[in-house]
Structure 1
Amino acid sequence: MLEYIKLFWEGAPEGEPSVILYEVDTENERLALRSIDIFADGSTRNIPDLYDGVIEITPIPTVEELNAHVWGEEFHACIIEQAEFESIWESRSSSGAFLKSEA
């Protein structure tokens, strides 16, 4: 089963994404299948393999964990629909309104 998460990173450093979308395989240790970095200017970067070249594979936390600030006060998240993820993946762009936090 797949879960789609929109993660907001408030105060993201220059050059880092302010929003990250994850496609999470909940039946495979919550590993990300794909992710999309969205930057403050609305540009995006599709990442077909989040774990390519990494030393340690880390599961994606649940929305509840992210919103409990287990990973830091600057992160909060919500569940999104697959269609939203796919739309941004295919268009490789994001509207400015998308960057607004829903939390």
Structure 2
Amino acid sequence: MKLFTENVVNIILSIPSGKVMTYGQISKLAGNPRGARQVVRILHTMGEKYKLPWHRVINAKGEIGIKDEGLFMEQKISLEEEGIVFLTDKKIDLSTYQYNPKDGFGE
């Protein structure tokens, strides 16, 4: 596994219940500030294998970015079950719920 991919997996696994991180935030911490789309790919291809808490990863606007209605609802319900309160149907307050790990992944 490439170092960036390994870092992404470890970062996502470190997100605690009731917190979220953005795709861009994860890619930057993993060592590639422009790799947000790679984070999406890693979640898609490795999510099940590594039991990644994919529902804790959202876009930079603080929104669920999934278009599929079923997956959207699964993500929203999973976040609500962890205590996250939505400002609108798909948006949360990043200043309240965004996780900022102290570890220097990928540095």
TM-score over 0.5 (shorter chain): no
Structure with a larger share of its residues in strand: 1
TM-score (norm 2): 0.28
Relative CO higher for 1 or 2, CA cutoff 8 Å, sep ≥ 6?
2
Structure with a larger share of its residues in helix: 2
